[in-house]
């Protein structure tokens, strides 16, 4: 350092070169049903993305170093042994001010993100509903009012999203998915690309690389929500009929209009509970996919969904699920940190899912143990402090 | 209608009992403080936008902002605003100080006065 202030340093080096953090929310792709965001609404998202970046890159490492320096030693001094599991690790962490401050800031940043998105979306909810209605009338959306919202959705508001995927403030309201669509930037820090579709693009690329001759006639995406990760699959397989299923009417309406706005023709949306797909015949799909879906289920619904997936898949087909990795083999501290969302971010099935041996559940659903599929991706540090494994694909061939 | 809905629902509570990691009174104040920090950042970015637009349109070069020196009169106006501002946000500090003095002079809790005059 030569004593000059940081802004002079940046000016000399070039701010763009010196900068390491989330991109401007404005660089995210807009489409015809994307909410109009004022200057200050964008800056609210940008601030919150920076908060998550700061918590992940500056504070989360201190949680880990504090664990090494005093939390685990204190536990050992009291118990004469190391913490044996994630529950003991979490309870020990809850007594430490660094973990408590990090947790309090993570929780309030998530709550601020929800407020920021809801403010922008709800204030224009009538015009958004009108835009979606004008774009949805192309036969690509099929609603079924007999579909019930299951308890594991109705009772939860996953990731602290008020109203979850299914609540309307008035008939035709899409403010929930509009808030979700515009606020994803805060959660993923722009790492999903301008359309927040990185998982879908990765899945399409991996399938094409791994199964170069695979030409699915029909793809079924379960828990499609707003179809961020569905559209890259539909674009990667333009001859394929893609059907997205969800229990949430607002997300289906918004997703259908968003697909229309982005000109993706080969995708349809259907209101259905994925644990009962009786409208589809046995063997009528070549690929059943889910992305970040399994951890928002319940154990019984997940098993039912696996059975339905197996039933509707044709021979030579594939079920592929993108998820966070299982806990098995990870040290208690890492498990406790990865399990934060289960306890403090409204993800009640998270712990169970990541503690299961999913292979057994695929086999119990009728998949062949010799045809199970698993691919692990590593990723750089993310906002949740999960630095080691980015995501996994798990599933089975038929 | 939409604005009324936004005022009613933008800050809706998600399902589930909220976890508190700190003393709830401390965490409440911290939560309000972080919301204000967010709005300060938003205001700072808005000023930056304004400065850049003024420069781009040839109205005020940013270098001129950096080298701006208020006249004694202008400085006094700004300094008075700062004093007013600090007085306002630290009102409770002033009032707690005055309370010590007032107490010594027999300042009573209002319920005591109520009893006295009823």
CA–chain centroid gap for A332, Å, is: 24
Using the beta-carbon criterion (under 8 Å), do B15 and A107 form an inter-chain contact?
Answer: no
pLDDT for A388: 55
Q: What is the pLDDT of residue B68?
A: 87
Chain A partners within 8 Å of B22 (Cβ): 100-101, 104
Q: Hey, are the CB atoms on B38 and A48 less than 8 Å from each other?
A: yes
- How far away is chain B from the Cα of A290, in angstroms, using its nearest Cα? 24
Sequence spans of domains, chain A: 27-398
pLDDT at A391: 87
CA torsion sign, A129 to A36 to A41 to A28? Answer: positive
d(CA A313, CA A316): 8
Q: Which residues of A touch B45 (CB under 8 A)?
A: 39-40, 43, 46
- pLDDT given at position B110: 86
Nearest to B6 among A94, A109, A122 (CB): A122
**Whole-number pLDDT of residue B92:** 83
Kindly give the parts of chain B with pLDDT less than 70: 1
pLDDT (tens, 9 = 90+) of chain A, 398 residues, equals: 344 455 555 556 688 888 888 888 988 889 999 999 999 999 999 999 999 988 988 889 889 999 999 999 999 999 999 999 999 999 999 999 999 999 999 999 999 999 999 999 999 999 999 999 998 766 899 999 999 999 999 999 999 999 999 999 999 999 999 999 999 989 888 788 888 999 999 999 999 999 999 999 999 999 999 999 999 999 999 999 999 999 999 999 999 999 999 999 999 999 999 999 999 999 999 999 999 999 999 999 999 999 999 999 999 999 999 999 999 999 999 999 999 999 999 999 999 999 999 999 999 999 999 999 999 987 654 444 444 567 899 999 99
Whole-prediction pTM value?
A: 0.88
CB atoms within 10 A of CB A211: 15
pLDDT at position B69 is: 87
Going from the C-alpha of B72 to that of each of A99, A270, B63, B77, the distances in angstroms are 50, 70, 21, 9
State the CB neighbour count (10 A cutoff) for residue A23: 16
Contacts of A104 in chain B (CB under 8 A): 20-22, 27, 30-31
B3, B38, B45 ranked by CB distance to A112: nearest: B38
Judge whether A111 is closer than 8 Å to chain B, CB to CB: yes
Structure tokens, B66: 């950096």
CB A25 within 8 A of CB A52: no
Q: B1, B4, B8, B10: best mutation site toward chain A, by most A Cβ within 10 Å?
A: B10
Q: Exposed e or buried b for every residue in A259-282, given b needs 16+ CB within 10 A? A: bbbbebebbbbbbbbbbebeebee
Mapping DSSP to helix (H, G, I), strand (E, B) and coil, where does residue A96 land?
A: coil
ipTM: 0.75
Beta-carbon contacts below 8 Å between A and B? 97
Rounded distance, CA A6 to CA A42, Å? 25
**Torsions phi, psi of A295, nearest 5?**
-70, -5
What's the CATH fold of domain A27-398? Rossmann fold (3.40.50)
């Amino acid at each position: 350092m030569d004593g000059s202030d940081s802004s002079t340093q940046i000016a000399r080096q070039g701010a763009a070169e010196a900068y390491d953090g989330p991109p401007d929310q404005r660089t995210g792709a807009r489409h015809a049903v994307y909410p109009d965001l004022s200057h200050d609404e964008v800056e609210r998202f940008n601030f919150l993305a920076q908060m998550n970046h700061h918590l992940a890159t500056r504070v989360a490492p201190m949680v880990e170093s504090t664990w090494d320096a005093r939390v685990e030693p204190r536990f050992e001094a009291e118990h004469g042994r190391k913490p044996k599991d994630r529950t003991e690790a979490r309870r020990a962490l809850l007594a430490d001010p660094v973990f408590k401050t990090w947790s309090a800031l993570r929780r309030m940043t998530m709550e601020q993100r929800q407020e920021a998105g809801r403010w922008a979306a709800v204030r224009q909810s009538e015009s958004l509903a009108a835009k979606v209605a004008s774009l949805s009338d192309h036969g690509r959306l099929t609603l079924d009012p007999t579909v019930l919202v299951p308890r594991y959705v109705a009772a939860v508001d996953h990731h602290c999203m008020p109203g979850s995927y299914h609540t309307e403030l008035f008939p035709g309201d899409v403010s929930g998915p509009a808030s979700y669509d515009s606020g994803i930037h805060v959660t993923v820090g722009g790492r999903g690309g301008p359309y927040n579709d990185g998982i879908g693009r990765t899945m399409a690329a991996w399938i094409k690389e791994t199964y170069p001759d695979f030409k699915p006639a029909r793809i079924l995406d379960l828990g499609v929500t707003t179809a961020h990760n569905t559209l890259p699959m539909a674009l990667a397989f333009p001859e394929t009929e893609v059907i997205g299923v969800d229990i949430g009417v607002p997300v289906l309406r918004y997703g259908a209009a968003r697909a229309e706005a982005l000109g993706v023709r080969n995708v349809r949306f259907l209101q259905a509970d994925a644990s009962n797909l009786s409208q589809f015949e046995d063997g009528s799909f070549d690929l059943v996919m889910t992305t970040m879906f399994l951890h928002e289920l319940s154990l019984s619904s997940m098993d039912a969904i696996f059975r339905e997936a197996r039933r509707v898949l044709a021979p030579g087909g594939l079920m592929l699920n993108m998820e966070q990795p299982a806990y098995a083999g990870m040290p208690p501290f890492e498990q406790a940190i990865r399990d934060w969302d289960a306890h403090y971010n409204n993800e009640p099935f998270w712990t169970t899912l990541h503690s299961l041996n999913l292979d057994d559940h695929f086999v119990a659903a009728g998949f062949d143990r010799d045809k199970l599929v698993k691919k692990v991706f590593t990723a750089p540090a993310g906002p949740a402090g999960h630095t080691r494994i980015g995501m996994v694909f798990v599933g089975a061939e038929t | 209608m939409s604005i009324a809905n936004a005022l009613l629902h933008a800050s809706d509570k998600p399902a589930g009992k909220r976890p508190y990691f700190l003393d709830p009174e401390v965490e409440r104040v911290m939560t309000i403080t972080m919301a204000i920090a967010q709005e300060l950042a938003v205001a700072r970015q808005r000023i930056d936008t304004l400065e850049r637009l003024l420069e781009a349109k040839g109205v005020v070069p940013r270098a001129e902002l950096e080298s701006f020196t208020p006249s004694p009169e202008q400085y006094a106006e700004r300094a008075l605003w700062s004093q007013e501002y600090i007085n306002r946000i630290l009102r409770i500090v002033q009032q707690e100080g005055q309370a010590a003095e007032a107490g010594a002079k027999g300042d009573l809790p209002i319920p005591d006065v109520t009893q006295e005059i009823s």
